[in-house]
């Protein structure tokens, strides 16, 4: 089923090569298939070409964290936080801030 989904997404991309939702769906699908190279490629394309597509930042940051690239994850979370603030997307801002705090070691509790 996943190969069918991937084939369909690639077909959609062929018809709409600059649609950020399709690029995001492809990145997410490749990520779920553990195809890191393609997942990174599509997420990074989104950040470069569609910087206001806020959902990208959280998932790209998590992918960096999964591959022990914490500094890159933190950088992506910071960019996402700025983009979410600019769009006044408080839900995304909250999620990105939480991910940033966790990656940066700022999510501690007082005893």
Note the pLDDT tens digit of each residue in 68-82.
999 999 999 999 999
Backbone angles phi, psi at 67, to 5 degrees: -105, 30
What's the pTM value of the predicted model, to 2 decimals?
0.89
Return mean pLDDT, the chain: 93
User: Is 111 a residue whose pLDDT tops 90?
Assistant: no
Confidence at residue 3, expressed as pLDDT on a 0 to 100 scale: 76
User: Is 63 a residue whose pLDDT tops 70?
Assistant: yes
**Other Cβ atoms within 10 Å of 12 Cβ, number:** 15
Question: What is the residue range of 48's domain?
Answer: 2-103
Note the pLDDT tens digit of each residue in 25-43.
999 999 999 999 999 999 9
Q: At 77, which CATH number?
A: 1.25.40.10
**Residue 73: both structure tokens together:** 């994850």
Is 108 part of any domain? no
Tally the domains of the chain: 1
């Amino acid at each position: 089923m996943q190969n069918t989904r991937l084939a369909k997404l690639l077909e959609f991309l062929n018809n709409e090569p600059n649609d950020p939702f399709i690029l995001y769906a492809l990145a997410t699908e490749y990520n779920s298939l553990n195809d890191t190279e393609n997942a990174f490629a599509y997420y990074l394309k989104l950040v470069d070409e569609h910087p206001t597509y806020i959902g990208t930042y959280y998932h790209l940051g998590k992918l960096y964290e999964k591959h022990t690239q914490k500094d890159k994850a933190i950088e992506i979370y910071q960019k996402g936080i700025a983009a979410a603030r600019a769009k006044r997307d408080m839900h995304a801002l909250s999620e990105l801030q939480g991910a940033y705090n966790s990656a940066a070691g700022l999510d501690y509790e007082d005893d």
